Amino acid sequence: MLNRARSRFRRLPRWGQALVVLLGLGGTVGLGTLAVFLYSQTQSNSGAVIRRWFTDPAGRRALITTLREPCPGAPFLLPTDGLIGLLWRDPAVPYHIFRRHTGLDIFGDGAPGTVPVVAAYAGYLTRLDGWLSSVIIRHDDPLRPGHTIWTYYTHMASRDGRTSYIADAFPPGTSEVWVEQGTLLGYQGDYSGGALSVGMHLHFSIVESEPGGSFKNESHLANTLDPSPYLGMPLNINSRPARPITCRS
Ligand SMILES: [Zn+2]
């Protein structure tokens, strides 16, 4: 087999031999580039930062982002204080190429049920009947006039699911209640709905609207928006600084 290929190769004219060699090299370089690209897509330092958060509680203070006002020129408030750990587009399962994180995981310093979560922007709040730990708010998109977007907040319940940490003002079944920016929505929790809990945090995401007026499925990256321009911070894995995340200067 190999010998036959070799003798065929020798019978080719010089230019033909050169072409075969070039194609072979090109293919190898192409595959190599693809492999490097896929590998780079799996790399992010978020996992290491989050591990540091849980293994070195004394060092937490240096990692916390606190924001009482929106960043200059940005419309949204950071909805809770803490380590902005997992970013938008981060590999959702550690080092998984194909599943991406749809929002931000913000890890607060304190016991479950004590770190406040507030509305990032004014809008109409809904909490569906079965929602133990989540609320969603409908907004006029401040960056794309005429569009509707939603902000989604979840994990606001105890790990065992017995206690919801959502504010009493928003019981299950709440529909389209107006809230101002900064309105208390509840408190960070460690409920994960049966999935492996990664510790207390708020999962916050910006979700696109269905043409019919409802919100799209939040668990698909394509249905969510990069929160960076809304918060005025580098909040996707392509631009993560190697230090606590603050307003863009
Ligand atoms: Zn999350």
- Dump the DSSP string for the chain: -HHHHHHHHHHS-HHHHHHHHHHHHHHHHHHHHHHHHHHHHH--SHHHHHHHHHH-GGGGGGG-B--SSPPTT--PPPSS-BEE-S-BTSBSSTT-SS-B--SEEEE-SS-TT-SEEE-SS-EEEE--TT-SS-EEEEEE-SSSTT-EEEEEEE--B-TTSS-B-B-TTS-TT--SEEE-TT-EEEE-B---TTSPP-SSBEEEEEEEBPTTSSBPPTTSGGGB--SHHHHTS--BTTS--SS------
What does the pLDDT read at residue 23? 82
Ligand 1 centroid, distance to 171 Cα (angstroms): 23
What does the pLDDT read at residue 25? 77
Whole-prediction pTM value?
A: 0.82
Ligand 1 centroid, distance to 226 Cα (angstroms): 14
Ligand 1 centroid, distance to 59 Cα (angstroms): 22
Confidence of residue 39 (pLDDT cuts 50, 70, 90): low
Ligand 1 centroid, distance to 148 Cα (angstroms): 22
Ligand 1 centroid, distance to 130 Cα (angstroms): 19
Ligand 1 centroid, distance to 8 Cα (angstroms): 57
What would the pLDDT profile of 129-176 be if each residue is shown by its tens digit? 999 999 999 999 999 999 999 999 999 999 999 999 999 999 999 999
> Does residue 40 have a pLDDT over 70?
no
Q: Which CATH superfamily is domain 45-231 in?
A: Glucose Permease (Domain IIA) (2.70.70.10)
Ligand 1 centroid, distance to 219 Cα (angstroms): 10
